[in-house]
Amino acid sequence: MKSFVRILVVLVILAGFGYTLYHLYEKSQEPPVVFETSQPFRTDIIKKTVATGTIAPKKEVAIKPRVSGIIEKVYVEEGDMVKSGDPIAKVKIVPDMVSLNNAKNRVQMAEISVQNAKQNFDRQKPLLDQGVIAMAEFQPIETSLLNAQQELLAAQNNLQLIEEGALKNEGSTSNTIIRSTANGMILEVPLKEGNSVIESNTFNEGTTIASIADMGEMIFEGKVDESEVGKIKEGMDLLITIGALEGHTFNAELEHISPKGAVENGAVQFKIKAAVQLKKDVFIRSGYSANADIVLERKDSVLAIPEALLIFGDHPDSIFVEVETHPQVFEKRPVQLGLSDGIKVEVVSGIDETDNLKKPL
C-alpha cells in the first residue's frame, strides 16, 4: 500500500512538472504577426495653403474736423447708420490768441481807413457837385472809399470766422458742425464731449471724430509666406472661416497681392486682399480674425494612397510600397508619385487599384 502511494505521488509530481514545461513552451511561442493591407483608391487631391488675417470693410472713412476746438456735442453712437451730410458732432471754437489779436487789429485798421476815406469823400463831393473839380479827379477818391469799405468787411468776416467758425450773415454752412462724408455705419467714436480736436491741414492729418464704413462690402486682409506667394494669382477662389462664426464659411475672390514683402519673425510675408461674398442672414463685424484656404493645385479622380504607406530609400527619388504577392508575403515595388495634400498622395505609376499594400504596424 505504501509503495502504491509513493508511486502515485511521483506520478503526480511528474505530471505537474510536465504540464509546467508545456505551458512555458506554449508561452514562449509568439503568435505570428498578421499585417493589415489596403488598396489604392480614386479621389480628389487638393493642395492648399492657409493665410491668417482679419475681416475689414472695403471702404472706411475717418471723419475729421475742419476747425480746432472742443467737442461740444456728439450726435451719433457706434452702430448707427448715417448718410452723407448727417451731423456727427459739434465743435466749440477755441481761437488762437495770436490769430484773434491780429484779426482784431486788422478790423481796427480797416475802420480807420474807412473813416479817413469817408472824410476825404465828404470834402470832395460838394466840390464835384459845384463843378469845382472834375469827375476824373473825384473818381480815385470814391474808389479809395469803396476799397476801404471792402477791406473792413473782409476784416470783420475774418474775425467772425476765427471766433465762430462761420459767417452768419452770409448763410454759410457752419464748420463747427462736423458732418458725415459717406453713407454707412458708425464703427467707432473715439472722442467724447469735452475732448479737444485739431483741424486737418497741410501739416496735420487732424483728430478723428468718427469712423464710417460700408458694411455691405467686406474684405479679407491676410499674409502669405514667400514660399507660396509665387503659386497664387489674382482671381483665385478662397474659402474664409471666421473663428467667431462657427459653422459658417464664406467664399472670396483674391483681388490683390502686395508687390513688396515684409520680414516677420525671420520670414518674408506678403499681404493679400480678397473680396468676401456675404450672406444675408450673417452679420460680419469689422476686425474678426479669419483664416483663408487658398487652392494652389487640384487633381480630380486620381489614383491615390495614404502617405503613411510610403517607404523612402537612400536616394530622394527612391520611393517604394510593399505589395502583397501571396498571403502575408510582401515585396517592395518602386512607385512614381504626383500631387500630395500632406495626407494622401497621387500615384502616377508602379501599382494599380487591385494591389494590396502593406500597412505599417
Do 50-57+214-298 and 97-164 fold alike per CATH?
no
For 138-169, the pLDDT digits (tens) are: 888 889 889 988 998 888 888 877 776 666 65
Which triple of cell numbers denotes residue 208? 478723428
In this prediction, residue 31 carries a pLDDT of 67
Looking at residue 255, its pLDDT comes to 93
Cα–Cα distance, 90 to 72 (Å, whole number): 5
For residue 1, pLDDT over 60 is answered with no
Per-residue cell: 36: 493589415
CATH number of the 97-164 domain: 1.10.287
Q: Residue 67's pLDDT is what?
A: 81
323 has a pLDDT exceeding 70: yes
What is the domain partition of the chain in residue ranges?
1-30, 37-46+300-358, 50-57+214-298, 97-164
Is 50 exceeded by the pLDDT of residue 285? yes
What contacts 216, CB < 8 A, 6 or more positions away? 278
pLDDT tens digits along 36-83: 888 999 999 988 888 899 999 999 999 998 888 889 899 999 999 999
User: Which stretches does DSSP call E strand in 243-288?
Assistant: 249-257, 262-264, 267-276
Question: CATH fold of 37-46+300-358, please?
Answer: 2.40.420
**The CATH fold of domain 50-57+214-298:** Elongation Factor Tu (Ef-tu); domain 3 (2.40.30)
- Tell me how far CA of residue 100 lies from CA of 10, 103, 156, 331, in angstroms: 129, 5, 11, 97
What lies within 8 Å, CB to CB, of 226 at 6+ separation is 261, 267, 268, 269, 270
